[in-house]
Amino acid sequence: MSTGTRISRRRRPRQVLLALTIVGLTIPLAACDRWSSTCETDSSCHIEISGTKFYELPRPLDAGEGTENNGATERIRLVEATEGGTATLQVGGEEPVCAAGESFTLESTTFTCTEVGDESIVLDTVRTG
C-alpha cells in the first residue's frame, strides 16, 4: 500500500464529518424562514411569518385594486419579534409595531397581530371597502 492511499483513507472520514457538519448547520438555518397565507374570503386572510425574509402579500392593501396582486410589489417582512412582547414589521412602506391582540391599518387593510413569538408572528387581515 502506498503512502498516498493511506492519506486519502484518513481524509475520507474527515471529509464526511465536515460534510455532515455543514448539512447539520445549514438545515436549521434554512428552516428559520417560513411563510404561509390562507385567504378564506376576498376580504380576510391569515398570515404566518417566521424569519426576516420579504414575502408578497396575498392581497393588495387597497381593496379597490381587487383580490390579485398581479405582480404588485406589496410585500411584508418581519423585522424583529420577541415572545410575549412586540413585533416590528415592514409593510406598505411603513414599520408598524404591535403586540398580540393589537391592530394597525394600512390603506383599507387592518392587520391584527394574533400571536407574537421569537422571530415569528401570526396576523389576521381584513380589507374594507
pLDDT bucket at 79, cuts 50 / 70 / 90:
very high
Res 12: pLDDT:
62
Res 102: pLDDT:
98
> Cα separation of 37 and 121, whole Å?
12
Structural domain boundaries enclosing 97:
34-127
Residue 112 CA: distances (Å) to CA of 27, 56, 103, 109: 31, 18, 4, 10
Identify whether residues 91 and 117 lie together within a single domain.
yes
Identify whether residues 23 and 83 lie together within a single domain.
no
Identify whether residues 83 and 118 lie together within a single domain.
yes
Identify whether residues 18 and 55 lie together within a single domain.
no
- Using an 8 Å Cβ cutoff, are 120 and 78 in contact? yes
pTM to 2 decimal places: 0.74
Task: Judge residue 67's burial from the number of C-beta atoms within 10 Å of its C-beta, 0-12 exposed, 13-18 middle, 19 or more buried.
Answer: middle
Identify whether residues 100 and 46 lie together within a single domain.
yes
